[in-house]
Amino acid sequence: MRVAPQLAALQRIAAFSAAMRGHELGEWQTGEGFAQASCVRCGAQLRVYFPALEPEMDGPALERECSREAAEEEAA
């Protein structure tokens, strides 16, 4: 499968989207049809999928702000 260029673009978009919420993504792990990374500060995960026609991404890193305080509130 020649997905590398498409995946690299998706990962850049995902990293940018996560950064908008204050996250800093660590190393990407690539699986079959997806790649995932998590925030080095709060641990929120983000996953990108790369089917041929409809790439998408999801995960907590896109849904909430990066905040150690928020993480503690959730745990409390």
Residues that bind Zn ion in the complex, under the rule CB under 5 A:
23, 39, 41-42, 44, 66
Q: Give every strand in the sheet of 45-49, ordered side by side.
A: 29-30, 34-38, 45-49, 56-58
Measured between alpha carbons, how far apart are the two ends of the chain, in Å?
Answer: 45
Q: How far is the CB of 19 from Zn ion (least distance, A)?
A: 10
Q: Is the Cβ of residue 3 or residue 28 nearer to Zn ion in the bound state?
A: 28
Q: Is the Cβ of residue 6 or residue 67 nearer to Zn ion in the bound state?
A: 67
Interatomic CA distance for residues 9 and 14, integer angstroms: 9
Q: How far is the CB of 51 from Zn ion (least distance, A)?
A: 27
Q: How far is the CB of 58 from Zn ion (least distance, A)?
A: 15
